[in-house]
């Protein structure tokens, strides 16, 4: 299994400057994690978001993975099933060792 660190996701209750709204997911998010030295992704969840409540109050660590299926099987629990966000690109969220992890799989740039 190969994983590369991408960012830490931090839920917020107030929008940060420059955040953009993702209509389908009902979430506000900063457009680039590279704006912050620590590669931070700020997330503001709106009512009706498909993301589970546990993510609204807890940070996550995101990794680009070579094969998401291996990590899904290794997880203690899948809290957000794989979702295709672009052709060849999927995300999922899991709990492993009491921590939330985002799995990001890009088959276009594998």
H-helix segments, 1-110: 53-57, 68-74
| pLDDT band of 110, cuts 50, 70, 90 | low
User: What is the CATH architecture assignment of 3-109?
Assistant: Roll (3.10)
Name the residue with higher pLDDT: 102 or 36.
102
Domain range annotation of the chain: 3-109
- Burial (CB < 10 A; 0-12, 13-18, 19+), residue 72, is middle
Give the integer Cα–Cα distance in Å for 39 and 10: 11
| pLDDT band of 68, cuts 50, 70, 90 | very high
Q: Is the pTM of this model over 0.85?
A: yes
Q: Which two tokens stand for residue 33?
A: 């994690």
């Amino acid at each position: 299994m190969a994983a590369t660190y991408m960012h830490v996701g931090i839920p917020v209750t107030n929008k940060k400057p420059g955040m953009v709204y993702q209509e389908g997911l009902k979430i506000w998010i900063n457009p680039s994690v590279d704006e912050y030295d620590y590669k931070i992704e700020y997330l503001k969840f709106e009512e009706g978001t498909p993301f589970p409540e546990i993510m609204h109050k807890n940070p996550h660590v995101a990794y680009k993975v070579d094969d998401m299926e291996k990590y899904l099987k290794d997880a203690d629990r899948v809290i957000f099933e794989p979702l295709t966000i672009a052709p060849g690109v999927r995300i999922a969220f899991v709990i492993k060792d009491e921590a939330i992890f985002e799995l990001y799989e890009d088959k276009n740039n594998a």
